[in-house]
Amino acid sequence: MADNLVPNAILSLLLLRSIVCASALCGDRILHRVKSMQDITHPVALFGSLAAWGERSLNKKNQQHSNLFVSILSSNLWRGLLWSVSLLMLALLFGMMLEGVVASLALGARDAVGGVAGLGCLLLIHSFLCAWMIAHAQLDGYVAKIERELKAGKLSAARKTLSHIVGRETSALSSQAIARAAMESLAENSSDGTIAPLIYYLLFGLPGLFLYKAVNTLDSQFGYRGARYGEFGSVSARIDDCANLLPARITAYGICLVALFKRGLSGLSALQAMWRFAPSIMAWARGGFRSSPNAPHPEAALAGALGVKLAGKRLYKMHGEIWRVGDWIGFGTENCNSSHINCARLLVNYTMLFFVIILIFMLTSIVWRFDLWSYPFLSYFYYS
């Protein structure tokens, strides 16, 4: 046992985090229905407000200097880099502090009541924090509302609801464009808002969870293209691109796998669309990092599975700037409707369920194979 002390401790820690991830996916649904939770200011919103305040203060017009070194240090690119790194370090320290506080509470419960109480306290608090940080239930709720409004012919209401989950201009979108935008947001944000945070929690605990949420929030705040954010937000955008390389592909392949077993959907078409329309990392690099290397993967997988086209030309209006981006993703029809949204929701929800099953299978296999309840970290809650 002494020879396997470190690997068994790591495996037992992953076991705990697997339980937490599975619980968080279920807890997210519960928290979404608790009205009192919706009235509490979310930590991500507070972080976003701090990031926006710094951007307004630091993102100024570049000043030209005769000295090249001084000119670089006073540029928006450099100020954006410093501000982003400072905020990410703050999020990392907050996550580390919170990890320590929760561990202390769990050990206190162990000493006061017993090992089961300590372990239960640890799992409960971690599950709550993870459920609070992911946003699949909220996203699915918005998309379901858009589906109902389109089905009822309430185009204006659907446009307004869509504006809560996309950054593009929605005031003149047709019903088909609204349906496409809703499905694109569902596919992309299932990776960014759910799978990615859980992956980083599984690997790095609460520090990884909060650090990833900070990365994603900074990209949402000022990681856009355009005159205002072109330099200041470029570092945030690149960090977010790198952080989502693995989660986006895991989500996309999960959609393809689930589509193989769902009647009326095509897992093979999903794979073909992903290989055809989603850029590889090398293609992204050769293109000068101008496009996202991640969003097209789950979008293409969803489009291929449903037999539709997503994306296309999109109009973005932000802070007085207007620009158009995007090419078509997928082989099928571009005339999407509420029934396509319903199929997309089912596919994505089944994909989330698939991840829960995989996590449960993984933790069960680890327990059975290594008998981890007798090993370090878990047994620490039973012995002083």
Whole-number pLDDT of residue 207: 95
381/384 Cα distance (integer angstroms): 8
Of residues 70, 19, 46, the one with CA closest to residue 217: 46
Contact 251, 190 (CB under 8 A): yes
342/147 Cα distance (integer angstroms): 7
Residue 186 — pLDDT band, cuts 50, 70, 90? very high
Residue 275 — pLDDT band, cuts 50, 70, 90? confident
Sequence-ordered list of residues with C-beta below 8 angstroms from that of 379, at least 6 positions apart, any chain: 373
Q: For residue 103, what are the domain limits?
A: 5-381
In this predicted model, what pLDDT tens digit does every residue of 71-123 receive, in sequence order?
Answer: 455 577 788 888 899 999 999 999 999 999 998 888 888 778 777 787 888 88
Which two structure tokens, joined as six digits, stand for 131? 């459920």
Pairing of strands 321-325, 310-311: unpaired
Task: Tell me the torsion sign for CA atoms 31, 36, 39, 41.
Answer: negative
Per-residue pLDDT, averaged over 130-148, amounts to: 91
196/250 Cα distance (integer angstroms): 9
Sequence-ordered list of residues with C-beta below 8 angstroms from that of 333, at least 6 positions apart, any chain: 307, 308, 309
In this predicted model, what pLDDT tens digit does every residue of 210-226 receive, in sequence order?
Answer: 999 999 999 888 876 66
Sequence-ordered list of residues with C-beta below 8 angstroms from that of 259, at least 6 positions apart, any chain: 265, 266, 267, 270, 301, 304, 305, 347
Q: Which amino acid is at 190?
A: S
Per-residue pLDDT, averaged over 2-22, amounts to: 74
Which DSSP helix (H) or strand (E) runs through 364? helix 338-370
- Domain total in the chain: 1
| Maximal CA-CA distance, the chain | 69
Looking at residue 194, the DSSP 8-state letter turns out to be: I
pLDDT more than 90, % of the chain: 30
Around 93, how many Cα atoms within 13 Å sit in the side-chain half-sphere? 6
Which two structure tokens, joined as six digits, stand for 45? 């919103």
Q: Where are the beta strands (DSSP E) in the chain?
A: 310-311, 314-318, 321-325, 328-329
Per-residue pLDDT, averaged over 328-344, amounts to: 87
Report whether pLDDT(70) > 80: no
> The tokens 């068994």 sit on which residue?
8
Contact 129, 206 (CB under 8 A): yes
Whole-number pLDDT of residue 183: 92
Which DSSP helix (H) or strand (E) runs through 126? helix 115-133
The string of DSSP letters for 63-101 reads PP-SSHHHHHHTSHHHHHHHHHHHHHHHHHHHHHHHHHH
Sequence-ordered list of residues with C-beta below 8 angstroms from that of 352, at least 6 positions apart, any chain: 25, 136, 190, 194
Whole-number pLDDT of residue 330: 82
Looking at residue 279, the DSSP 8-state letter turns out to be: P
Per-residue pLDDT, averaged over 280-307, amounts to: 75
pTM: 0.88
72/79 Cα distance (integer angstroms): 10
Per-residue pLDDT, averaged over 342-349, amounts to: 93
